[in-house]
């Protein structure tokens, strides 16, 4: 089985990278258009923020479900059904004329996209194992970074030229392309399917995974770093447009620096895994993220925040995330045996549930002032470092 997996690896990495970027592309295309969509639909910031928060929360729940389903039915059928839901949700959101239909479309988008996010990570570990997964995971994170780089820029211009509804057309095209490609080229990689989908067994698998301090350390570390990014994404469009007198196209252009830094960090992480182990890479990335968020807080305290002072420190933060995320994710998934899909889905659930809650809290934090907001963003990498250090020390104590 593993030999067949390796034979298909070259095809799978390209395809899995396309799978992984599907949902981040859909998420971030709409972000620059959110202020204009709020005015068009005559809703306030807290209400339009539901389109972002509900997306993240549905991604969280969807990954929690898709992991056990993929362990039972296999990776490929679950993936294909998920991508179909993603396309349907994108079509619904593109045709929305009121906030309820828009939120419903975003929920379906995310529910389908969650399978691609969870299973792309799982299949890489299926094919390459723990040792090879960290480097390969870096390529997937690079694909996500490319999507995050392109999406806000494209979304900003699509919003200016054609209106906010147009930001949902591209996810339809991408989702259909990935679906047909996966149908033809994606092999089934599940080494041994679960023999039961009963709730008790699924809960037992989750309990087994959650009792591993090694798993929790990796999962919480990548969760807190992602939370800093989600708080930034949830607040920066309004800061640029309402406080710094920018527009959606400017936001998209400057956001390139953030996403390109993420891509650069991910690329370097694939090269450095031959010299540094997973824990060293995670710690390096978390420390770089701490420096970036510290600069954001400093500029807010000094009342020196500008567009470049907003985006460049976050670029350093995501540069560090590019080092830490692929290594933390592969380490978390690989530390479980026989439940890789469950472990991947649970990690996505923890990360996105936390990010979704904080994204919805972000407008309230903004009302308390930029210093409060940036303090919360700064706290995220501190918690990431603490989580990773705890599990690292626990593992050292076992040897």
pTM assigned to the model: 0.68
Q: What is the pLDDT of residue 295?
A: 95
DSSP calls for 202-238: HHHHHHHHHT-HHHHHHHHHHHHHHHHHHHHHHHHHH
Task: For helices 50-73 and 75-94, give the axis angle rounded to 10 degrees.
Answer: 160
Block means of pLDDT (10 residues each) for the chain, length 399 residues? 44 77 88 86 86 85 78 82 94 91 94 85 72 66 74 85 90 92 80 63 72 78 89 85 77 81 81 73 90 94 87 93 80 65 74 79 86 93 88 62
Contact 156/248 with Cβ under 8 angstroms?
A: yes
What pLDDT score was predicted for residue 85? Answer: 94
pLDDT of residue 328: 77
For 367-382, give the DSSP string. Answer: HH-HHHHHHHHHHHHH
The interaxial angle of helices 9-29 and 75-94, nearest 10 deg, is 30
Integer Cα distance of 59 and 66 in angstroms: 10
CA 172 to chain centre: 19
CATH architecture classification, 2-182+209-398? Up-down Bundle (1.20)
SS3 content of the chain, % helix, strand, coil (to 5): 90, 0, 10
Residues 39, 45: Cα–Cα separation, whole Å: 9
* Distance, CA of 225 to CA of 344 (rounded, Å): 17
Distance CA 110, CA 22 (A): 10
Predicted confidence (pLDDT) per residue in 174-222, tens digit: 999 999 988 888 877 766 666 556 666 667 777 777 777 777 888 888 8
Please, which residues have CB within 8 angstroms of residue 165's CB and are 6 or more apart in sequence?
Answer: 93, 94, 95, 96
**Domain boundaries of the chain, sorted by first residue:** 2-182+209-398
pLDDT, position 18: 85
Count of Cβ atoms closer than 10 Å to residue 311 Cβ? 21
Closest to 394 measured CA to CA, from 215, 206, 205: 215
């Amino acid at each position: 089985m593993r030999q067949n997996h390796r034979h298909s690896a070259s095809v799978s990495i390209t395809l899995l990278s396309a799978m992984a970027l599907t949902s981040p592309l859909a998420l971030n295309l709409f972000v620059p258009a959110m202020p204009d969509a709020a005015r068009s639909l005559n809703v306030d910031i807290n209400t339009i923020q539901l389109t972002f928060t509900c997306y993240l929360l549905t991604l969280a729940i969807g990954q929690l479900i898709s992991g056990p389903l993929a362990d039972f039915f296999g990776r490929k059928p679950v993936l294909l059904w998920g991508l179909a839901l993603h396309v349907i949700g994108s079509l619904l959101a593109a045709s929305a004329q009121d906030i309820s239909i828009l939120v419903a479309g975003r929920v379906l988008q995310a529910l389908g996209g969650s399978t691609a996010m969870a299973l792309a990570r799982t299949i890489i570990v299926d094919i390459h194992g723990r040792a090879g997964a960290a480097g390969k995971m870096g390529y997937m994170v690079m694909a996500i970074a490319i999507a995050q780089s392109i999406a806000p820029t494209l979304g900003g211009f699509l919003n200016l030229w054609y209106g906010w509804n147009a930001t949902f057309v591209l996810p339809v095209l991408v989702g259909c392309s990935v679906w047909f490609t996966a149908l033809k080229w994606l092999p089934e990689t599940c080494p041994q399917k679960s023999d039961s989908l009963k709730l008790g067994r699924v809960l037992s698998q989750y309990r087994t995974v959650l009792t591993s301090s090694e798993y929790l350390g990796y999962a919480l570390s990548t969760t807190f770093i992602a939370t800093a990014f989600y708080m930034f994404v949830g607040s920066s469009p309004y800061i640029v447009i309402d406080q710094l007198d920018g527009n959606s196209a400017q936001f998209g252009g400057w956001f390139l620096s953030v996403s390109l830094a993420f891509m650069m960090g991910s690329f370097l992480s694939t090269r450095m895994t031959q010299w540094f182990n997973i824990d060293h890479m995670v710690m390096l990335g978390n420390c770089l993220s701490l420096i970036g968020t510290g600069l954001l807080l400093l500029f807010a305290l000094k009342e020196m925040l500008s567009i470049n002072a907003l985006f460049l420190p976050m670029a350093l933060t995501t540069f560090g995330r590019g080092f830490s995320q692929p290594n933390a994710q592969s380490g978390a998934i690989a530390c479980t045996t026989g439940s890789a899909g469950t472990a991947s889905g649970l990690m996505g659930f923890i990360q996105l549930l936390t990010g979704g809650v904080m994204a919805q809290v972000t407008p309230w934090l903004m009302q308390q002032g930029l210093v409060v907001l940036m303090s919360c963003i700064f706290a995220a990498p501190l918690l990431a470092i603490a989580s990773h250090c705890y599990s690292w020390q626990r593992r050292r104590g076992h040897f």
